[in-house]
Each structure stands twice: as C-alpha cells, then as structure tokens.
Amino acid sequence: MHPNNVVVSAHGVPMPGIIYGTAWKKERTADLVEQAIGLGFRGIDTACQPKHYHEEGVGKALVAVERKGIKRQELYLQSKFTPLSGQDSLRLPYNPTARLSEQVAQSFQRSLENLHTTYLDGLILHSPLAQREEMREVWTAMEAIYANHGARQLGISNCYDQQQLETLVQSVKVKPAVIQNRFYQQTRYDRSIRAYCQRQGIIYQSFWTLTANPKVLAHTTLYHLTKKYLRTAAQVFFRYLSLRNIIPLTGTSSAAHMQEDLAIFDFSLSADECAAIDALL
C-alpha cells in the first residue's frame, strides 16, 4: 500500500484509503478484480451473498494475482454475513433452518472457501437484524470468529439508525471497527453517525458514492477544483472524502477510471476547499 493511502483501524488493521467493490459484477467479477489488483488496488470488498456478489469470482482473481507475485498478506480483504432477508432463497450459502449463530459460521466458512484464504481482514454484518436478541446472537458468533483469528476486525453495513449503532457499540465485547453505508442526501450523508464514529474510532466506508451524487459532482465548486488541479470531479470528491477520514468504495469496470481512482492520493485539497465541499452535503 502507498504510504499516503493507508488508514489504520482501532484494531490496528491497515486499510487502503480506497477499496474496490465487487457487487453486481456477476461473470465479470474475476477479470475485473484481477484487473483492479493489477493496476494497484489493495483493498477488496465482497459478500457471501450470491444474489448480488460472485464471491467465487473474487477468489479466482486472488489465485491469479498470487501466481503473479501479489501475496494474500498484501491485500485487505473484507466479506460479509448477509441475513436471510437479503439472500436469494434459491441460492443460499448456509442452512436457512439453522440457528443464526450457525448461519454466521457456515457463511464465514463458505467465504474462506470461495476466496481461497484462511482469514478475512474484515468480517462485516451486511445489515442489522430487526430484533435485538437476533443482533446479539449474530454479533456473538462474529466475535467467536474474531477470537479464533478468522477475522482481524468486525464491522457493520447499512446501519442508518444511530441509536441502533450506539446500542451495538455499548453492548458488545468486540466493537465494530468499520461501518459501511450509502453516502447520499437521503440520509443527510450520515453526518451525525459519522461524528459518532469519529468519537468512537470507527472507520466510515462509503458506497454509492458517485452514483447517488450527480448534483454534487456537477456543482460549480467541484468544477473549479477540477480545473485547478487538472482532475476529474470523481477524483476531487474521492480525495475530499479521504481527507474527511472516509474510505470510499469504487466499483468501476473501466481501467482508466480505476487508475484515476488510485491517483487521488497524488494531490490534496486545502481546508477551505474541503469546507466548500462540506457546504454541498
């Protein structure tokens, strides 16, 4: 990882400042992940959720890049446990009649098999469960995986209720190191949650970062910055997020855009310029 492109979590796990997301890639997953890693990405996000992710394709790419000399230890690899409500009932990665704790264990083992690895750098709960008892059972099962060194840190995704997040943080043994949410206007860009995460030492990862923000990307504020720094609007926005301690996910299938995304650490923005973008959110 580039020295200017590393964020270290509260668990001491180094994470790249931008991560390649693999949702919706289907049969192109292996080729795109291999391409992304070949161009310089060292963080990969996936999920044990056949409905939206082809995790086996990610694993195929990891095998291919290892043959080219890029070792597993050089990569930050995170996957997710997806509850039944988010799964395709015809393609389940675990026994739907098993206890939640067993579903977590089965999903985790499937991820290890899919990805040809012995551990995950991050194990993420794909979405909160409705009942507090269910959340406790799932998180306890994830903590067991962490305790057995199967995952170096834990996290949660699609959590937009700050009280729910606070309850989780206050009630568990192993606190989430990461939260991964949509970054868009409908949730007011998680301002309150992000402030809470900063106080708690939780790293915020953003997805839907470009797709959900066309007005921000087209705003004159970003336009002037693209001219000043000779960068694209996406590069300026991603760089702004990194300076606000946010790790963006990018799922581009374009090699050119992958290279542009990786180049965001080659320039910076002033405090006033960041504040001007703040005002857009």
Within a domain: 119:
yes
The answer as to whether 8 is a domain residue is no
Classify residue 48: in a domain, yes or no.
Answer: yes
pLDDT at 2 over 80: no
Please give the residue range of the domain that contains residue 60. 16-212+246-252
Q: Would residue 42 count as lying in a domain?
A: yes
Euclidean distance between CA atoms 195 and 233, whole angstroms: 25
In a domain, 278, yes or no: no
Query: What does the pLDDT read at residue 3?
Result: 53
CB atoms within 10 A of CB 114: 22
Q: What is the pTM of this model?
A: 0.97
Average pLDDT in the 22-43 region? 98
In a domain, 83, yes or no: yes
Instruction: Name, in order, each residue with C-beta under 8 angstroms of 246's C-beta and a sequence gap of 6 or more.
Output: 183, 194, 204, 205, 206
Which pLDDT tens digit goes with each residue over 48-76? 999 999 999 999 999 999 999 999 999 99
Residue 262 forms part of a structural domain: no
The mean pLDDT of 202-206, rounded to a whole number, is: 98
Q: How many domains does the chain have?
A: 1
Is position 94 within any domain? yes
Q: Which pLDDT does position 145 carry in this prediction?
A: 98
Residue 1 has pLDDT above 90, yes or no: no
Tokens 């939260």, residue located:
179
Q: Tally DSSP H helices, then E strands, for the chain.
A: 11, 10
Q: What is the pLDDT of residue 269?
A: 98
For residue 187, give the CATH number of its domain.
Answer: 3.20.20.100
Mean local confidence (pLDDT), 23-47: 98
- CA–CA separation, 134 and 91 (whole Å): 22
Orientation of helix 29-39 relative to helix 55-67, angle to 10°: 40
Q: What is the pLDDT of residue 129?
A: 96
Q: How many residues does the chain have?
A: 281
